[in-house]
Chains A and B, each alone.
Chain A
Amino acid sequence: MERRVVFSGWLFPAFLLMPQLAVTLVFFFWPAAQAILQSMRREDAFGLSTQFVAAENFAAVLGDPFYLASAEVTLLFSVAVAVLALAAGLLLAVMADRVVRGAAVYKTVLLLPYAVAPAIAGVLWLFLFNPSIGIIAVGLRRLGIDWNYLLDADQAMLLVVLAAAWKQISYNFLFFLAGLQSIPASLLEASAIDGASPRRRFWTIVFPLLAPTSFFLLVVNIVYAFFDTFGIIHNVTQGGPAKATEILVYKVWYDGMVGLDLGSSAAQSVILMAIVIGLTAIQFRFIERRVHYA
């Protein structure tokens, strides 16, 4: 039954692979190699004097209490964003799945935030909440809430978590909705006939069957919170107050582009690269195992 197309030589398949390989080489391996090289050097901003320092930059980074604090902030931030975005995405998907009339409209509207670039999302939230110019900030102050995330670390964290999660909800919504629609209706009907309440049906049938989707989304959301939220942080808090929202990827940028300390910045990006590789490996292992079950 199995039908396979077999190429008669290696030249043509190699030719077909070329574009993808070239892109990977130019946009991934080459910069990655550069980063590794740079991470073992000490250099002034202009590159006029370069010294090879081996692992000194890594030792300095890992021994820096501010780096460890930033790692802690990143962990808190990522977990908060992932949990919030996943929970909201799931809730909306379950709701939208039930809607009969005008479903397309709901879905389209719910997907819109995903089309917004992180930097733009940051600016939107900034205009709403900035203590000086924000519309909602004015309202909060009228309500007697002392809203000033330029000084209040918790408020700053809350704001960037909300902004980052808001942007990711659409993505999660889409995947959860697809997951829900692939659950056989017969299973749900059978359990309804057996007298299971909607709540019970959700927790015993829908939720377990959504587990592979959820796991996939968890990894994607954490990677998103780790890396793609730079624009939001940059526009809203610049990592402040007192580094309370300085996530690792922001620190890489700050130390490299503002501090012009390229060695340290490169060492930090190499560490981040290792984290992504780790996360991706975990995802592949677990997802593959799940596929066997399903």
Chain B
Amino acid sequence: MKPIMLAAMAACFAASLGSASAEPIELQWWHAMTAINAERVNKLATDFNALTDYKVTPVFKGSYPETMTAAVAAFRAGNPPHIVQVFEVGTATMMSAKGAVKPVYQLMADAGEPFDPQNYLPTVTGYYSTADGKMLSMPFNSSTAIVYWNKDAFTKAGLDPEKPPKTWPETFAIAKKLKTGGANCAVVPAWITWTQVEQFNAWHNLPLATKANGLDGPDTELKFNTPVMTKHIAALAEAIKDKSFDYGGRLNEAEGRFVSGDCAMIQTSSGFYGNVKTNAKFAFGMTQLPYYPDIEGAPQNSIIGGASLWIMGGKKPEEYKGIAKFLSYLSRTEVQREMHEVTGYLPITKAAYEATKASGFYDKNPGREIPLLQLAGKPPTENSRGLRLGNLVQIRDVIAEDLEGVFAGKAEPKPALDDAVARGNAILRQFQKNTQ
């Protein structure tokens, strides 16, 4: 028995050695995508592997924060993945890790891979580039906040199903009508901080923080405790009190209530489209975020959300060559187009956007162009280029905590916003100290 087992093991060992030399160079890709988006990730890797001598291996690492933390821990342990998908709020943290990451522009130059940042949509890449336009990470799944409405619920409440509200006053008025018209939940915002504070300020061309929201330097300070913001939070709290608005939590939990038909309107990511399309049993539409018409310059443009791909440092040149080829593959027009049309995420190149437009896709699928129009409707200003705030994950929670206090009727809007700004600034200073 024993000699046979030994022989078998030896054979296996020899076989594994033999095949190792012929195996393609493996590139680890850690990501946080689930459901149809995870299928997309796997398809991208499989298609790329079939074309080249490299082998991209996607590994699901949990939620966005979990994936990022896993990559950080792996780096500390000396064995990071080649590519890691990091959500937009982790951008400042990744950027500050000089030496731990390899900037995309440098990667492409070192690998001799043709690369022109002008080919990409500036509203998307701006979030992930230095002030002088050098791309640090490759946008992967980009989205922005939009409004979805349930047309059947509008009809039931005696409203015109083809006329969603355009402004905030209209939204509050329609919410009341929906509520009295029998909707269990009229309007619910998801991602509370992202939609009601971050997007809100960019959309109204108001600063969230100094130094162009942190893009121009880490010594940025939050300053969103403005009269406009206070007025808006007070209005939201009022609407939550009379039940014409519902508070849906800090993440996207509320999305389930829209899909099930419980809530008639939701403000959430454009990446939610695939889910609604597949699961909703009612007619729905998509429209732009509401704005206050009395604010000058509103609406400006919204900012992106989603995630980008960061390349970790300390890898071999031949591996970087493979990664560069993979990023080029991801930027191909047909790859981008397919991803955009299937998932609801945005195309990242101008060519892919043009091609989608030319194909008549937006005419056949009304509403699908909304996020792009909203992002690129006007050239971005200091307030609407993007955000680069250290530990934004924590800052989001701090803001959400203070807003929850207001929505629960325990705090007044102005002191709550002052508190969020003060605590958020403390987090920014701590981040600056830790990364100096």
A contacts, CB < 8 Å to B = 42-49, 130, 132-133, 148, 150-153, 238, 240-243, 257-261, 263
Contacts and interface: CB of A to CB of B under 8 A. Distances in A.
Given A42-B433, A151-B407, A242-B404, A259 B256 contact: no
Interface stretch (B90-98, B115-123, B227-235, B318-326): B90-98
Contacts of A133: 256
A92 B409 CA distance: 40
Contacts of B72: 45-46, 260
A242 B248 contact: no
Query: Which of B69, B401, B405 has the most C-beta atoms of chain A within 10 angstroms of its own C-beta?
Result: B401
B154 to A, nearest CB: 21
In the A-B complex, the 8 residue pairs with the smallest Cβ-Cβ separation, listed nearest first, are A242-B401, A46-B100, A44-B435, A241-B404, A46-B97, A259-B394, A151-B408, A150-B249
Interface residues of B, number: 38
A132 B248 CA distance: 8
Contacts of B434: 42-45, 261, 263
A270 to B, nearest CB: 18
Given A48-B97, A132-B262, A150-B253, 18 more contacts: A44-B96, A44-B97, A44-B434, A45-B72, A45-B93, A132-B254, A148-B247, A151-B247, A151-B408, A153-B408, A238-B250, A241-B404, A241-B408, A242-B402, A242-B404, A242-B408, A259-B393, A260-B72
B99 interface: yes
A148 B249 CA distance: 10
B65 interface: yes
A155 to B, nearest CB: 11
Contacts of B400: 240
Nearest to B80: A46
25 contacts: A44-B434, A46-B72, A48-B100, A49-B435, A132-B249, A132-B256, A132-B257, A240-B250, A240-B400, A240-B401, A240-B404, A242-B402, A242-B404, A242-B408, A257-B66, A257-B69, A258-B65, A258-B69, A258-B394, A259-B393, A260-B69, A260-B93, A261-B430, A261-B434, A263-B434
A48 B408 contact: no
Interface of A is mostly: loop
Nearest to A64: B426
Interface string B89-131: 0000100111110000000000000000000000000000000
Query: Which of A43, A44, A45, A152 has the most C-beta atoms of chain B within 10 angstroms of its own C-beta?
Result: A45
A260 B393 CA distance: 10
Given A42-B433, A259-B391, A132 B401 contact: no
B436 interface: yes
A49 B436 contact: yes
B76 interface: yes
B75 interface: yes
B405 A242 contact: yes
Contacts of B408: 151-153, 241-242
A32 B250 CA distance: 34
Nearest to A47: B76
A130 B405 CA distance: 19
Interface in B236-259: 247-250, 253-254, 256-257
A39 to B, nearest CB: 14
Contact of B97 (A45, A238, A242): A45
A148 to B, nearest CB: 7
A42 B434 CA distance: 6
A238 B391 CA distance: 18
Nearest to A238: B250
Contacts of A47: 75-76
A55 B136 CA distance: 37
Contacts of B407: 151
Interface string B130-162: 000000000000000000000000000000000
Contacts of A148: 247
A92 B99 CA distance: 60
A178 to B, nearest CB: 40
B400 to A, nearest CB: 8
A240 B262 CA distance: 24
B36 to A, nearest CB: 20
Contacts of B397: 258
A49 B402 CA distance: 33
Contacts of A240: 250, 400-401, 404
A174 to B, nearest CB: 34
Interface string B393-422: 110010011101101100000000000000
A124 B427 CA distance: 34
Interface string B377-399: 00000000000000101100100
A74 to B, nearest CB: 18
Contacts of A242: 401-402, 404-405, 408
B32 to A, nearest CB: 14
Contacts of A130: 253
A46 B253 contact: no
A133 B255 CA distance: 10
Contacts of B93: 45, 260
Nearest to B257: A132
Nearest to B411: A242
A43 B257 CA distance: 42
Contact of A48 (B99, B248, B253, B402): B99
